[in-house]
Amino acid sequence: MMKVYVLRLGHRPARDLRLTMHVFLAARAFGADGVLYSGIRDRGLEERMRRVVEEWGGPFTVEYVEDWRRAIRSWDGDRVHLTMYGMPVQEVIEEIRKSPMDKLVIVGGEKVPGEVYDMADWNVAVTNQPHSEVSALAVFLHELFKGRELLKRFEDAKLKVVPQRRGKKVVRVGEKA
């Protein structure tokens, strides 16, 4: 079965703390198996994401990579770079989906070096307009999984949302809703 991992390029804790965490959260919620990140190592970020997985379920992994070039080059599967300059997602998603290879979905942080465009098997645009890597990632994964990720059940979750028309309700798994 195809595995999907997300590589977040160039994490800068002072500037990107919330945004990188949101990339991780979107990756998990929309069906990725884990994330890799480069830039400055942030053990606090890693720990916060591990706590999310512990409370809300998994499996989902977080790994720091010192050398993103090596991570991309050594990836044994398809490399998909999300960029507003790529081919429209709706034109290439079927081809990407048909490949049984594991996927490495690359999203930028700081300015993405030009060599990433050459290292990718696909440069994919979710619109050709400026927007965030979080929204591009969510839409791409939604398209890749044909919406089935919305039905995903997370193993060993301790918390669960009880859907409400109004208000919010979260229960510990095993408690009555």
Over residues 64-94, the pLDDT tens digits come to 999 999 999 999 999 999 999 999 999 999 9
Tell me how far apart the alpha carbons of residues 96 and 90 are, in angstroms, rounded to a whole number. 11
Tell me how far apart the alpha carbons of residues 109 and 20 are, in angstroms, rounded to a whole number. 8
Spatial contact of 69 and 40, defined as CB atoms under 8 Å apart: no
CATH of domain 4-152: 3.40.1280.10
- Return per-residue pLDDT of the chain as tens, 177 residues: 999 999 999 999 888 889 999 999 999 999 999 999 999 999 999 999 999 999 999 999 999 999 999 999 999 999 999 999 999 999 999 999 999 999 999 999 778 999 999 999 999 999 999 999 999 999 999 999 999 999 999 999 999 999 999 999 999 997 766
Tell me how far apart the alpha carbons of residues 44 and 37 are, in angstroms, rounded to a whole number. 13
The domain ranges of the chain are 4-152
